[in-house]
Amino acid sequence: MGFPMAGHLARAGHQVCVYNRTAARAEAWAEEFGHRAARTPREAAQNADIVFACVGNDDDLRGVTLGDDGAFAGMKPGAVFVDHTTASATVARELHARATERSIAFMDAPVSGGQSGAVEGILSIMCGGDAATFEKVEPIMSAYARTATLIGDVGAGQLAKMVNQICVAGILQGLAEGLAFGRAAGLDMHKVLSVISKGAAQSWQMENRGATMLEDNFDFGFAVDWMRKDLGLVMEEARRNGATLPTTALIDQFYGDLQKMGGGRWDTSSLIKRL
């Protein structure tokens, strides 16, 4: 997702220097957009006013920020580090503390909208940090975002993204059970969807995934492996804050079933395949 996001920044007129663990990807980007690629996160972050990261998980994030080659080592005091990774609130708070030691501002800013949202530049961004930092970066992020909202202090962006994933999990499992039931009952499910999508059962998922679920088409979208990672963050955080998540815990297990079925790269709507 970083590839098209950095592309939007370059097209908006910003000076961009990119880093990717796969050097060939960074070089391909640099060639396409006529900007620089760096060999380390530190080099990419040198002299930047704002550094944006979008990696896989907490450990990947520590890998590109901390240590001698990490972005923090190259950043100047007063610069801002914005993390677009969906990661834990804990790592956001940890990196915020490390950034503060170097007079670097930190904002967690997980995104919603997926690969296509990044390509089209219409992501939704949930931010955690202070208002001054948000005001500084919000106009820049508008190059690839439809909306960016400051939810609260550092970590609040990650926690809001977790709320989003909990809601999505419930919707998708309900939709999967509904479609599987209707099919078992012999109904024309396209007809049924066209009716119930107008009322109290309506959801973005029903409108955008109902038809593909019926076609057994899961070769696109947001992968099961990523959802499993996100629900892992959710369950860990819930253990800490005491929230009771009976169906989310169950659906997390169902996603584990899909991984065992070889469906780690299937779209999250593939829950219907285990019914």
Q: Of 222-251, which residues contact a second copy (CB under 8 A)?
A: 222, 234, 237-238, 241-248, 250-251
* Other beta carbons within 10 Å of 21: 12
Q: 71 vs 145, which CB is nearer to a second copy?
A: 145
Q: What single-letter DSSP state applies at residue 58?
A: H
- Sign (positive or negative) of CA dihedral 222, 169, 111, 56: negative
Q: Rounded CA gap, 182 and 176, in Å?
A: 10
Supply angle C-alpha 82, 242, 238, rounded to 5. 40
Judged by CB under 8 A, the residue of 24, 78, 184, 215 near a second copy is 184
198 makes contact with a second copy (CB under 8 A): yes
Judged by CB under 8 A, the residue of 205, 228, 231, 266 near a second copy is 205
Judged by CB under 8 A, the residue of 17, 87, 91, 151 near a second copy is 151
Q: 132 vs 200, which CB is nearer to a second copy?
A: 200
* Amino acid type, 255: Y
Supply angle C-alpha 210, 215, 220, rounded to 5. 75
177 makes contact with a second copy (CB under 8 A): yes
Question: Judging by beta carbons within 10 Å of its beta carbon (0-12, 13-18, 19+), is residue 242 exposed, middle or buried?
Answer: exposed
Q: Of 74-133, which residues contact a second copy (CB under 8 A)?
A: 89, 112-114, 124, 126
In angstroms, what is the minimal distance from the CB of 228 to a second copy? 16
163 makes contact with a second copy (CB under 8 A): yes
Burial 82-103 (b: 16+ CB within 10 A, else e): bbbbbbbbebbbbbbebbeeee
Task: State both tokens at 87.
Answer: 């990661």
Q: 51 vs 126, which CB is nearer to a second copy?
A: 126
161 is catalytic: yes
Q: Which stretch binds a second copy (CB under 8 A): 31-39, 57-65, 72-80, 161-169?
A: 161-169
In angstroms, what is the minimal distance from the CB of 44 to a second copy? 29
In angstroms, what is the minimal distance from the CB of 7 to a second copy? 22
Q: Which residues are catalytic?
A: 161
